Amino acid sequence: MQPQYQGMHTSGALSAGQNRVLRNTYMMLAASMVPTALGALVGIQMRFSFFAGSPMISFLLFLGIAWGFMWGIERNKNSGLGVALLLGFTFFMGLMLSRILQIALGFSNGGSMIAMAAGGTAITFFAMATIASTTKRDFSNMGSFLMVGMIVILLAIVANIFFQMPGLSLAISGAIVLISAAWMLYDIQRIVRGGETNYVSASLSVYLNLYNMFVSLLHLLMALTGQRD
C-alpha cells in the first residue's frame, strides 16, 4: 500500500505544480498588459513609427531587438531579471503596436475596430484555454506543424515587403489569426500537462500569441470595415 500511496502523493504534487505555473502565467500575462498599454500610449503621443525608413532594414532591426529580448528572457527565466526583461519587452511591443493604433484611430470607427479586435482576441484566448484545460485530446503533435507554419508566414511577410500586395497582406493576417489560436491551444496545454514548468517562458509564448492575433485581427478589420471620415 505504501508505494501506491506514494505514487498518488507524487501525482497530486505534480498537479498542484502545474496549476501553480498556469496561475502564475495568467497573472504575468495580466501584468504584461500594463507596460504594453503604456508603450502604446507613449508611442501614440510621440507619433512613433519604427518603420518610417527602409522597410526591410526596419524589419530586420525589429527582429533583432525582439529576439534579443527573448533570448535574455529565456536565459534569465528563473530570476527576477527575467521578469523585468519580460515587462521591458512588452513595453517595447506596446511602442511597436502604437503605429497600427494610430492608423486605426484615423478611421471614423477606429475605436470600435480596436475594441472588436481586443474582444475577438480575448474570446479566442478564453476558448482555447478552456479547450486546452478540459479536453483529453493531446495536441503535442502540433508543434512541428506550427513551427513550419510560422516560418512560412515569416517568409511571406518578407516577400510582401518587396511586393506590397494588399491581397497577400490580408492572407498573411488571416493565417496569423489561425496559427496564433492554434499556438494558444498548444502552449496552454503544455502548461496544463506539465510540458512547461516555468511561468516566465510560458507567459512570453502566450503573450506573443495574443499580440500577434490582436494586430492581425485589427489589420483585417481596418481593411474590411474601416470607414473614413
**How far apart (Å, rounded) are the C-alpha atoms in residues 61 and 94?**
16
Residue type at 17?
G
pLDDT of 229: 66
- The pLDDT of residue 51 is 67
Q: Which pLDDT value is given to residue 13?
A: 43
**Domain span at 38:** 2-225
Check pLDDT > 90 for residue 94: yes
Per-residue model confidence (pLDDT) at position 127: 95
89 is written with which cell numbers? Answer: 519587452
133-149 in b/e form (b: 16+ CB < 10 A) is eeeeeebeeeeeebeeb
Mean pLDDT across 68-89: 95
For residue 76, give the DSSP letter.
Answer: T
4 pLDDT band, cuts 50/70/90, is: very low
**Nearest one of 51, 55, 24 to 164, comparing CA atoms:** 55
Domain count, the chain: 1
Give, in order, the Cα–Cα distances in Å from 116 to each of 82, 123, 157, 178, 222.
Answer: 32, 10, 24, 17, 11
